[in-house]
Structure 1
């Protein structure tokens, strides 16, 4: 019976030792095997792995691509227009041994704080270099600037055992205290452009009106000149007819002129005339009565 108990105890101890010496490496992780805080080995292949029980320690790090939202910072481009920049980064732990040596027993939050301390200065340095204006940052050229930030951050983060895959600018805005001044400047500029357009329109309208007035004067003058010419030609033709008629029969022409005068003078609605019967105006009427 005593031997059986010893055997059972030995089996239990063996099971405990075996369980303590076996661990699983997940495909989404990288594992460090430590002995008294010193790195003994790195396990990156998924599957079963072994360690010395109660002596070795297993530390696991995420092998997936991780994201970091940086805190909002202010940058000053070369045109001295301050901008508020909000960025995010994608990274992964590329070297768990170096990561452990750089971060120590700190958590992933500690590593991200160190990584943010690398990325934000690079954002300030790249966006504040000569030739980079706020318009450049807000234009399509920002993709090139983000690539520069990524490259510089990747180079410096390598000492942490971290590979920076990408750094992107999420938002790029003006500080609140500058917004109103910027809007006022934009309004003033638009109002100036509108005033220039109105002035140019008025100038063009004045030219059109002046041209139209000159055209009216020219057309009216031409019409009056043509009318005077036509009227003169008509008067000349009429006088010619009268002269020809007078030359053919002077008495008849005088008679015709008198009848025309009677017709015009004796129309209905004309004012009354006071003329003596012996007036030359009634000469032909008197002759008719005498006959």
Structure 2
């Protein structure tokens, strides 16, 4: 009975020692084997691993790509136009031993400590890089190059934490709320000035067009009057020539024709009263040789 009890105790002790000697490394983590607080071994390959029981213990760290969102920060570009920048970073633990030394903690606590220090690095790099360019460069497509510069600087500074910065992105870039009204007012004033300039140029062009049109009208009317006077003069000349030919062909008939035209113009229906001497030449063709006798 005593031997069986001792064997059972020995078996339980062996199992207990084995359980304290074996541990599993997950594929999503890195493990430090610590002995009296110092790093005795680093386990990065997933699977079953061993440690000295009761003397050594393990500290687990996340090996996945982690995300860190920065609180909005205010930057001042070269043109003193303040901007509020919202960014985020992707990173992972590269050197787990250096990460532990830098944070002095393990697990979620170490991630929180490293995150705060990484925030400080990202804010510093963001202010430094964005403060070296104009605001238009930040708001344009050139921001991709600026994000690459921020990432490069963050990689260098994050190495002291044992971190590898994979990517840095600017999610949003806005003006501070207190500057929005002033900016909108300035934009509105600028657009109104441009509209006023456009209207002034339009009125100037309209005046030029009206002046040109008035000049063209005057030239056309003057030319038309000139041509009309020429045509009228030519017609009068032709008429006089016809009269001259008629007078030369038969002087008596021409005088008779002219007298009849004068009678037609003078003796109208409502204007037939005339006071003239009876022997006036006007009545030559109205006289009768029989009546005269």
| 1:274 lines up with 2:273 in the alignment | yes
Distance 1:7 1:290, change over 3 A: farther
Bigger shift: residues 76-85 or 19-28: 19-28
Shift of 1:283: 4.0
Q: 1:176-215 alignment to 2 at 5 Å?
A: 176-215=177-216
For structure 1, the residue ranges without an aligned partner over 5 or more in a row are none
Map of 2:237 onto structure 1: 236
Map of 2:118 onto structure 1: 115
Confirm or deny: 8 A CA contact 2:100 2:110 kept in the other structure.
no
Q: 1:1-291 alignment to 2 at 5 Å?
A: 1-105=1-105, 106-129=109-132, 132-266=133-267, 271-276=270-275, 278=278, 281-287=282-288, 290=291
Provide TM-score, normalisation by structure 1.
0.92
> 1:55-96, CA deviations, whole angstroms, 9 ceiling, x for partnerless residues?
222111111111100111111111111110111011110000
Q: C-alpha separation between the residues in 1 aligned to 2:131 and 2:69?
A: 21
What secondary structure sits across from 1:157 in the alignment?
Answer: helix
For structure 2, the residue ranges without an aligned partner over 5 or more in a row are none
Instruction: Compute the RMSD of aligned alpha carbons.
Output: 1.9
What secondary structure sits across from 2:59 in the alignment?
Answer: strand
What secondary structure sits across from 1:159 in the alignment?
Answer: helix
Shift of 1:289: 8.6
What secondary structure sits across from 1:224 in the alignment?
Answer: helix
Shift of 1:36: 2.2
What secondary structure sits across from 1:261 in the alignment?
Answer: helix
Q: C-alpha separation between the residues in 2 aligned to 1:60 and 1:211?
A: 89
What secondary structure sits across from 2:164 in the alignment?
Answer: strand
Confirm or deny: 8 A CA contact 2:83 2:175 kept in the other structure.
yes
Q: C-alpha separation between the residues in 2 aligned to 1:290 and 1:111?
A: 148
Confirm or deny: 8 A CA contact 2:91 2:166 kept in the other structure.
yes
Shift of 1:264: 3.7
Provide TM-score, normalisation by structure 2.
0.92
